[in-house]
């Protein structure tokens, strides 16, 4: 079967324990396919679509990183901005393209299984370890490991990841032998890791080790001129995959897409375009085929927001943090008014501000303290 416009190297998305045997049972060899996905027309490179200067810069960084010997790369950006595509692009543009690309969702694998799955274990390392098991890092030797949601990694595993990045060695659970591995680590997060470091839930040394090469993906609302290109790309992909009759997007529909704020970024745009292409009755996507909140943004703002849950899921914590921040921005940092907007108590708001790292940003007292860290009466002690 000939690959479509968005086809990429065979890879494995490790999201649940039941997915993991597939990687161990089936070798990955993408070298013969990598060149077929390099470019599919203007503005498309290795599946990354866009002509906006910020995306052009992202693609430029991808090529520079891919050509280097950098063992760690950090991708930052909101949910749905395409961090997974950029991670694959780094792999495909590099000399590692014929080796495994292993994607691991750090938030999806149970904590009690994560270390064993990443590092492997020796026979008898713990109850139920009846035989030696090869870890995912070892299986990715020569290739790329994509750690999605790196901020969800436990602190004790962050120590071991830091050692792996710096020395390219690790030990299986229950083992004493130093294992050598040559794998590039691409880590991605939708959180501000500096804030996470300040909260004590992410190691500062690991942050600085990963932050040597950082690629930031802009949200879709900041590159609206790419929306028509992206919409056409998704229509073309759908046509090649299922033979859909739709051949493009009408001017009116395209105008509506360009005016929408896209809180779910490129992932949301893809879902909207695919839904309209499947359910529409014309050979083009028309304005009437789009969701109500896109056809009439004012009506959407008058009514309570209704989120559409897709198969890709949503970042619930990210949404909560965004709402708390919006309430504080709308009220100029007035916590009583912000709590009222959210329908919660002020103390509940304070707890959420602390949880999401918003205290210093919106608390005048904390900002004052940050500028003058010495406590009253502490001088001379």
Report the pLDDT value the prediction gives residue 348, as an integer from 0 to 100: 83
Report the pLDDT value the prediction gives residue 343, as an integer from 0 to 100: 83
| Residue in the block written with tokens 């077929």 | 36
DSSP 335: H
Angle (CA) 276-278-280 rounded to 5° is 55
pLDDT tens by residue, the chain, 381 residues:
333 333 333 344 444 344 444 444 443 443 333 333 344 445 567 888 999 999 999 999 999 999 998 889 999 999 899 999 999 999 999 999 999 999 988 877 777 777 888 888 888 788 888 888 888 888 889 999 999 999 988 888 898 888 888 888 888 888 888 888 889 999 999 989 999 999 898 999 999 999 889 999 999 999 999 999 999 999 988 887 777 788 899 999 999 999 999 988 999 999 999 999 888 888 899 999 999 889 886 654 554 555 666 666 677 887 888 888 888 888 878 888 888 888 888 778 888 888 887 877 665 544 444 344 444 444 444
Gap between the Cα atoms of 318 and 356, Å rounded: 9
Alpha-carbon torsion (296, 301, 303, 304), positive or negative = positive
Report the pLDDT value the prediction gives residue 23, as an integer from 0 to 100: 46
In a 10 Å sphere around its CB, with 0-12 CB exposed, 13-18 middle and 19+ buried, how is residue 372 labelled?
exposed
Domain 220-302 - what CATH class? mainly alpha
Report the pLDDT value the prediction gives residue 288, as an integer from 0 to 100: 93
CB 147 within 8 Å of CB 153: yes
Report the pLDDT value the prediction gives residue 310, as an integer from 0 to 100: 66
Report the pLDDT value the prediction gives residue 2, as an integer from 0 to 100: 32
CB 22 within 8 Å of CB 12: yes
Map out the domains of the chain as residue ranges: 12-216, 220-302, 316-370
Gap between the Cα atoms of 179 and 141, Å rounded: 11
In a 10 Å sphere around its CB, with 0-12 CB exposed, 13-18 middle and 19+ buried, how is residue 322 labelled?
middle
CB 48 within 8 Å of CB 87: no
Q: CB neighbours of 309 closer than 8 A, spacing ≥ 6? A: none
Angle (CA) 188-189-193 rounded to 5° is 120
Long-range CB contact pairs, 58-66, < 8 A, 24+: 58/86, 58/215, 58/216, 58/217, 59/89, 61/213, 61/215, 62/86, 62/89, 62/90, 62/93, 62/215, 63/93, 65/90, 65/213, 65/215, 66/90, 66/91, 66/92, 66/93, 66/94
Alpha helices in 243-334 (DSSP H): 251-259, 265-279, 292-295, 297-302, 316-330
Report the pLDDT value the prediction gives residue 312, as an integer from 0 to 100: 64
SS (HEC) of 118-169 = HHEECCCCCCCCCCCEECHHHHCCCCEEEEECHHHCCHHHHHHHHHHHHHCE
160 alpha carbon, distance to own chain's centre: 22
Q: Which two tokens stand for residue 286?
A: 């028309």
pTM (2 d.p.): 0.69
Gap between the Cα atoms of 304 and 170, Å rounded: 50
Gap between the Cα atoms of 216 and 57, Å rounded: 10
Q: Which two tokens stand for residue 167?
A: 């020395």
According to DSSP, the β-strands at 101-105 and 72-76 are: unpaired
Per DSSP, the three-state class of 101 is strand
Report the pLDDT value the prediction gives residue 43, as an integer from 0 to 100: 58
Closest CA to 98 of 31, 9, 34, 11: 31
| Sheet containing 184-189, strands listed edge to edge, beginning at the edge strand earlier in sequence | 12-14, 101-105, 144-148, 184-189, 72-76, 214-216
Q: Does domain 12-216 have CATH number 1.10.10.10?
A: no
């Amino acid at each position: 079967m000939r690959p479509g416009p968005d086809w990429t190297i065979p890879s494995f998305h490790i999201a649940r324990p039941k997915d993991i045997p597939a990687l161990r049972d089936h070798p990955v060899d993408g070298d013969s396919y990598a060149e077929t996905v390099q470019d599919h027309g203007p503005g498309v490179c290795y599946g990354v679509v866009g002509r906006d200067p910020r995306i052009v810069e992202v693609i430029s960084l991808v090529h520079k990183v891919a050509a280097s010997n950098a063992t760690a790369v950090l991708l930052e950006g909101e949910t749905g901005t395409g961090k997974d595509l950029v991670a694959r692009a780094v792999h495909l543009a590099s000399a590692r393209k014929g080796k495994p690309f292993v994607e691991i969702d750090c938030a999806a694998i149970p904590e009690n299984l994560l270390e064993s799955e990443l590092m492997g274990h020796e026979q008898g390392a713990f109850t139920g370890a009846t035989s030696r098991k090869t870890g995912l890092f070892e299986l990715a030797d020569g290739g790329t490991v994509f750690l999605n949601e790196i901020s969800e990694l436990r602190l004790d595993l962050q120590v071991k990841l830091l050692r792996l990045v710096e020395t390219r060695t690790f030990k299986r659970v229950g083992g004493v032998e130093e294992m050598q591995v040559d794998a590039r680590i691409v880590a991605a997060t939708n959180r501000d890791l500096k804030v996470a470091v300040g909260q004590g839930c992410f190691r500062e040394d690991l942050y600085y080790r990963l932050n040597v090469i950082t690629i930031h993906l802009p949200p879709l609302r900041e590159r609206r001129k790419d929306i028509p290109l992206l919409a056409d790309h998704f229509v073309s992909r759908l046509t090649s995959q299922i033979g859909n009759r739709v051949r493009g997007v009408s001017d009116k529909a395209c105008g509506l897409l360009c005016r929408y704020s896209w809180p779910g970024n490129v992932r949301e745009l893809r879902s909207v375009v695919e839904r309209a292409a499947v359910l529409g009755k014309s050979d083009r996507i028309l304005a009437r085929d789009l969701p109500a909140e896109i056809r009439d943004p004012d009506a959407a703002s008058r009514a309570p927001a209704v989120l559409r849950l897709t198969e890709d899921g949503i970042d619930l914590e990210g949404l909560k943090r965004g709402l708390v921040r919006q309430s504080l921005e709308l009220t100029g940092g007035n916590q009583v008014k912000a709590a009222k907007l959210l329908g919660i108590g002020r103390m509940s708001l304070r707890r959420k501000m602390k949880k999401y790292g918003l205290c210093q940003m919106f608390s005048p007292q904390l900002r004052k303290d940050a500028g003058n860290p010495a406590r009253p009466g502490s001088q001379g002690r």
